Chains A and B, each alone.
Chain A
Amino acid sequence: MKVSYYPGCDLYTKARVLNDSIQRSFNAVGFELKEMENWYCCGTTFTLARDNKMSLIAPLRILAKVQKDGGSVLVPCSICYNTLKRSNFIFKNDPETLRLINEHLGESYDGQVKIIHPFEFIRANQNDFKKGVKRNLENLKLGCYYGCYLLRPENEMEFDDPESPTIMEDFVKLMGAQPVSFPLKVECCGSYLIVSSPEAAIETSYRILKNARERGAEAIVTSCPVCHYNLDNFQNRMASSHPEHRPIPVFYFSQIMAMAYDLPVEIWGLEYNKISAVNLLKGHGIL
């Protein structure tokens, strides 16, 4: 079955491992991710200033293409997913703005396409995704970290409970590993504050990792390239301000799929993780 796929710019650059592992994993269970032709950047983070309509232009162009091309699209990057979904909420509920942007672009988008995150797609096809599991991950304890972009705002994202979501735990169980829930799984990692106020982002990211570790996680799973960067890349700096910090690997969910489906180890993308997961995986006999 072919599934229309919007990678977004990050999956072509820094989050290449997410792109490669999700494509191969979906393929392994019979879903071919068909990349949209001539896609554009979503515009990155959603603007909250209501009088700024410029930021709706890129999302409308993308969604108008989706409308012509089957009406639904899979979006793995949390920022793209959030931006496209929040923009689409406006297109659905604010006919005047929809008309304005359509007119500006010469499009006739109707606001009706479906923007689907891989977790939602996997849940809807869970028997297929379960059948692909070949490798035993049962001893791997994975902290399920959601961050912000998938969950909030609740009425626009309609993804899961914004305070106590469970969709990622269900995914981890489906892959045969042990999910670990922890209170800060919905807390912000600091996102782009890493550029403007790195000390604030590193401290909040540290707290998230500490909380996950205290609840028994041996590694973290996330779907967001921003969360992945903040949690994985600054653990040396966390250790210098918090000497008790012990490094904890951070995976994209699709890396877990590649392991569970017993895909070639280069698809797991382990060299991409700043904090090496090799010893952890060897310890559990996975590698």
Chain B
Amino acid sequence: MRRLSRNKDFILKIEEISHQSIADCYQCGRCTAGCPFAEFMDEPPNRIIRYIQLGLRDDVLKAQSPWFCAACLVCETRCPRGVDIPRIMEAVRTVHLRAKEQIIDIDMIDKELLMDTHPLLLMSALYKYSY
């Protein structure tokens, strides 16, 4: 069995960036149930929250899930505890991006899409997923 080491600084960092109280979540799973992108994620949204509650920094930071969150706010609308999950996902992305880890780079984007897409979509993606 894996011994859990609880990284309290990481919990505080996420709470500081998101202004959410991570302990408010009681793990009902409603965010995951309604998330349009949960099936594309390696870890469902409620499990990311659980990892943060437990201070499992490495498990949170290795998950790809935050990069599949489009901040559509369906989970925020439905959360019975008023937890703004997209803000927590953004906080995780922010930790990555401030450590200069990004998932997209303008050179990686499909050239056809790059020429064809709306500038505002491109800017939004670069803004959310690169530093």
Contacts and interface: CB of A to CB of B under 8 A. Distances in A.
Contacts of A244: none
Nearest to A80: B120
Contacts of B18: 48-50
A95 interface: no
Contacts of A188: 36-37, 70, 72, 74
Contacts of B90: 47-49
A193 B37 contact: yes
B125 A192 contact: yes
A167 B125 CA distance: 29
A185 to B, nearest CB: 12
Interface in A159-208: 162-163, 186-188, 190-201, 204, 207
Contacts of B77: 152-154, 162-163
B8 interface: no
A44 B124 contact: yes
Given A49-B94, A153-B77, A194 B120 contact: no
A127 interface: no
Interface stretch (A9-17, A105-113, A214-222, A250-258): A9-17
A27 interface: no
A9 B120 contact: yes
A77 to B, nearest CB: 8
16 contacts: A14-B118, A44-B123, A48-B71, A48-B89, A49-B17, A50-B18, A148-B74, A152-B73, A188-B70, A190-B70, A191-B72, A192-B70, A195-B129, A198-B113, A225-B118, A225-B120
Given A153-B84, A229-B117, 18 more contacts: A9-B119, A44-B124, A48-B71, A48-B84, A49-B18, A49-B90, A50-B17, A52-B94, A148-B71, A148-B72, A154-B77, A187-B72, A188-B36, A194-B121, A195-B104, A195-B122, A200-B68, A225-B120
